[in-house]
Structure 1
Amino acid sequence: MWKIVRFCLAALILLSSIHSSAQKKDRIKYKADELYEFREKGQKIRRLIGNVVFAQETSTMYCDSSLYYVKENIMEAYGRVRIVDDSVTITSKKLIYDGNTRDSQLRENVVYRKGEQKLVTDFLDYNMDTEIGNYFNKGTLSDPTNTLKSETGYFYGQADYSLFWTNVVLDAPSYTLETDTLRYNSVTKEAISTGETVIITEDESILHADGGVFRTELDQSDFIDGTIETTDYYMEADKLFFDDLKKYYDAKGHVKLTAKNDDMIITGDKGYNDDKNGISKVYGNAVMRRILEEDTLYLSADTLVSIESEYDSAKRILAYPNVKVWRYNLQGLSDSAAYYLQDSLLYFYFDPIFWNHKNQIKGDTVVVEITEEEIKSMDLLQNSFLTSQDTLLNFNQVKGRTMHAIFEASEIHRIHVDGNSESVYYVLDENDPKDIFTLGMNRILCSNITIRFRDQEVYNVSFYVKPEAKFIPPHEFTPEIQRLKNFSWRSDERPSLEDVLHRKLEKQPQNNGETPFIPPAEKINMEGAGSNPKKLKNLNNEG
């Protein structure tokens, strides 16, 4: 039993001796113009003065004067300190070097150089073996591509990367980045930030993110929970990709585009901003919110495109296809739409149709004017048609070449019908509310009609320029007499707010966004502009 114990103890002593031998470093070698030796508190100390050189393993150190603590194998160096170790050179005013651990503490005017990399600080702790350095109380690391500043930093010479904390600033060729935590690879020039990050580009665009990856030599970046501030918009998303050379932003997840100068927000699943060409695109459940004084106008489409321009008259939002509109008192559908920001005009194309309370309104093209507070007017250009149902579900109808609807407090106040006007209006006996019946139908042809509304109901209709009227009793009713040409009742298509906000993609966009959709001008027939010709414009005219 004792033999086993003695054997184990001997083995432990042997292993300890081997470990101690492996850890033991060579003594520091040194030379100088003058050498003095003295004792302080029992320690043997050697003072070296003039052209001091001391070395250990691969490291050589130079200074004006030094103190060497013989037993501890520690050297203190002062004045024009310089360390040369393979590819690393460090200069400072002061140095404490531990020959046992190869740790160095450099102070005042510290400059570290390795290849093209340079670090400037006043406080640096550095290990010659591991090539790991730690600076504090501010430092600046630079290479030919980037400059990094922070309160605290670690660099790993053998791994070619550095870590920075607190008030970190990265000056890249085309932007400045600010964050509190950043990792930087000195070979790939890739920086990774964690936490709140702010980027300011050369063109003064501002980006906010919750961290990201920055490929500085390629001028490309990926962000998490980012916000980009451009000339006219703020763009937000769960993930953002930024190419600074191309001035291109790609966004994914909860994309949000907020106009700076308009009460307008665009949201969707994906999007991009092409700053060079002044185009922003949002698609996948894309919704535009136009905030009015009393309510919000919602417009959705498969794709929404914002076109910026140096000319205010050319700034617009394009929507296509499958456009849906909802406001508490106005709902609508069309294939495509264009919103001109300067004039606050919304153009709807290709079979547009709208509903206002009991009224259904349609035309080849519909133009809605929106002020900051409310809907101001609506123009129906070519083949305009107004339909409403009375209490007995009869269809009152008015059609004409064009219509101009005037709104007050966002409710239809009156409608002017201009050119080739026709109407069908049913006459009811409403003396007994419990026994309402149809007396007959007035069918009228004329040039122009004015319809006045009160409490969302038609209360007066005026006919102008040689009206031809015919009263038809119920027993003479036929489908042909009761319906004007091109009549259709489409109340089942009327969208709800839920339909607009949570739409399903009905078909893939025919335009992929590479070429902006421009509604053709020929869809607006200039003939018969009626009472509001100023609202017609050539949509292909950029100015």
Structure 2
Amino acid sequence: INKDVELETYTFYYDIASNIGYYDNEGKITDAENQLTSGYGQYSPDTKDAEFREHVVLNDIEEKDFRMTTETLLYNTGTHIARIISPTTIVTDSATVYSSNGIYNTDMGFSELFDRSLIVTEGGNTLTGDTIYYDQKAGFGEAFGNMVLTDSVRQTMLEGNYGCYFEKQDSAFATNRARILEYSKGDTLYMHGDTIRSYVLHDDSTHVMTAYPRVRFWRVDIQGLCDSLSFMERDSTLYMHRHPIVWNEARQIFGNVIYVHFNDSTVDWAKLPEFGFTAEHVGEEFYNQLSGKEMLATFVDGNMRRLDVSGNVEVVLLPEESDSTINKIVNSESSFLTADFSAGPMQVERIKMWPDVTGTATPLYLAKKSIFYLSNFQWYEALRPKDKDDIFNIPPEMEALLNEPDPTVRKRRVD
């Protein structure tokens, strides 16, 4: 017994010269806060440093809110700080920690963890990083270097070279090569932004994800970019702001703002409420084009099947003949338009325009280049993300686009 520290063992050895006691046939050491058992242990009353090996178990004897198991552990009975130097598991009332290198303050419930440690929260979320600072009582984790935060309920994974997680608030933050993966069904959606946040609104507990600036995302069936976006779990809608562009197959849609709705993680519709422009590359320098004040695209199984356009509708269409050749170009204007697309190869099946329609059909050999493109036509293929890793590459053309004035701001000023 040394003040508030008590050591019990079958055989005890005491080195008077160095003032160190040790045992090698199981022992138990108890202080005011914790109790530790091991096959071998040594203790210095002068420094209060202890070293334990073989089936080491450290428990909190007061609140009983943590249990540490390992094969080798360094512990100070004065500071109640444990030094992790071998594979260790810490089980608390809110999380389980796996680490081979770190420090755990048993008084504060605070950890400094290194070498790709892992934290599994009570709700099943996990936090991994090269270095992690974890506050058990506050439910806060901060990670540096290759952070990975998984959300088992929402089936998402947040990555970044720096990030943090607030368990009680169910919120997270990532930056420096930040990326979020959504893998709830089918193909995974990969999204990058300089900063990505995930949080829950206090008023109705709905989940929100935001990314900004320089946002790029990729999935097999849909790709896109914009300067900022947010996803609202309440309505399953992705809101894209400032120069948004979305690609699907050979089609491209852009506008002032774009809303994309998901049904079971599959795109179900996309709306452009202020201005919309869609283009489809049909070969060489030819593009089918539609433009209008408001646009609604409806998708089935990830493919666009219907397009509704209203207000100042303009059309450039290059219809295929029965032998798949193109020999004329159609230019037309109206107030409203509906287009239906085939379920297989993406082809226009039917177009309806009303009420007053004007237009011309010109043979290609007589057509001038000036009628090939609508006034707002832009083809942004050079900006299109190619795969899940290409989302980190910001082309100079994208930087230039995002530096242009926000068209929604111009519109509000005019209004």
TM-score range, shorter chain: 0.7 to 0.9
Residues 63-115 of structure 1, C-alpha deviations (whole Å, 9 max, x = no match): xxxxxxxxxxxxxxxxxxxxxxxxxxxxxxxxxxxxxxxxxxxxxxxxxx112
**Contact 1:430-1:437 within 8 A present in 2 as well:** no
Asked whether the equivalents of residues 287 and 500 of structure 1 are also in contact (C-alpha less than 8 Å), the reply is no
Match of 2:188 in 1: 296
Are residue 116 (structure 1) and residue 4 (structure 2) matched? yes
Shift of 1:330: 1.6
Q: Number of matched residues?
A: 392
Unaligned runs of 5+ in 1: 1-112, 507-521, 526-543
2:348 is aligned to: 459
Match of 2:245 among 343, 353, 358: 353
CA contact (8 A) 2:175 2:196 kept: yes
- Give percent identity, aligned residues only: 24
- Once the two structures are TM-superposed, the CA of residue 311 in structure 1 deviates from its matched residue by 7.2
Report the Cα offset of residue 429 of structure 1.
5.2
Deviations 1:180-232 (A, max 9, x none): 22101233332101222222334x22222223112334443211222222346
Distance 1:440 1:422, change over 3 A: closer
> What residue number does 1:220 align with?
110
Looking at structure 2, the residues matched to 343 and 429 of structure 1 have their Cα atoms a distance apart, in angstroms, of 42
Matched residue type, 1:438: N
**Letter of the aligned partner of 1:115 in structure 2?**
K
Instruction: Decide which of 140, 146, 149 is 2:34's aligned counterpart.
Output: 146
Q: Within 5 Å, which residues of 2 pair with 1:62-461?
A: 113-165=1-53, 166-171=55-60, 175-202=66-93, 204-224=94-114, 225-230=116-121, 231=123, 233-291=125-183, 293-308=185-200, 314-341=206-233, 343-372=235-264, 374-427=266-319, 431=323, 436-461=325-350
SS across alignment from 2:102: strand
Give ranges in structure 2 of 5+ residues lacking alignment: 397-407
**2:178 match: secondary structure:** strand
Distance in 1, matches of 2:113 and 2:180, equals 24
CA separation of 1:386 and 1:504: change in aligned 2, threshold 3 A: closer
8 A Cα contact 1:302 1:321, kept in partner: yes
Contact (CA 8 Å) 1:287, 1:299: kept in 2 or not? yes
Cα gap change, 1:367/1:161 in structure 2, threshold over 3 Å: closer, same or farther? same
Assess if the C-alpha contact under 8 Å between 2:281 and 2:288 holds in 1.
Answer: yes
Q: Which one-letter code corresponds to 2:126 in the other structure?
A: Y
Counterparts of 1:394 and 1:115, CA distance in 2:
88
Corresponding residue number in structure 1 for 2:380: 490
For the residues of structure 2 that align with 1:486 and 1:361, how far apart are their CA atoms? Answer: 12
Aligned letter for 1:488? Q
Q: Is the 8 A contact 1:426 1:442 kept in 2?
A: no
**Which secondary structure does the structure 2 equivalent of 1:285 belong to?**
coil
Q: Which residue of 2 aligns with 1:32?
A: none
Tell me how far apart the structure 2 counterparts of residues 402 and 336 of structure 1 sit (CA, whole Å): 21
- Please give the secondary structure, in 2, of the residue aligned with 1:235: strand
Q: Aligned Cα RMSD in Å? A: 3.0
What's the CA shift for 1:379?
2.5
Q: State the AA in 2 paired with 1:455.
A: G
Higher relative contact order (CA 8 A, sep 6+): 2
Point out the structure with max Rg over C-alpha.
1
Alpha-carbon distance in 1 for matches of 2:392, 2:318: 39
1:384 and 1:505 mapped to 2: Cα distance?
23
Residues 271/505 of structure 1: CA separation in 2 closer, same or farther (3 Å cut): farther
Match of 2:400?
none
TM-score, structure 2 normalization: 0.83
Task: Encode CA deviations 1:333-374: one digit per residue, 9 max, x unaligned.
Answer: 111122234544322221110111211111222222334463
Change over 3 Å in CA distance of 1:136–1:503 after alignment to 2? farther
Q: Over residues 214-264 of structure 1, what are the superposed CA-to-partner deviations in whole Å (9 max), with x where a residue is unaligned?
A: 233444321122222234621111221113454321112221111111232
**Is the 1:325–1:500 contact (alpha carbons within 8 Å) kept by the matching residues of 2?**
no
In structure 1, give the amino acid aligned to 2:289: Q
Is the contact between residue 237 and residue 262 of structure 2 (CA under 8 Å) also seen in structure 1? Answer: yes
- Whole-angstrom CA distance in 2 between matches of 1:286 and 1:378: 25
**CA drift at 1:409:** 2.2
Give, as a single letter, the amino acid of the residue that structure 2 aligns with 1:328: V
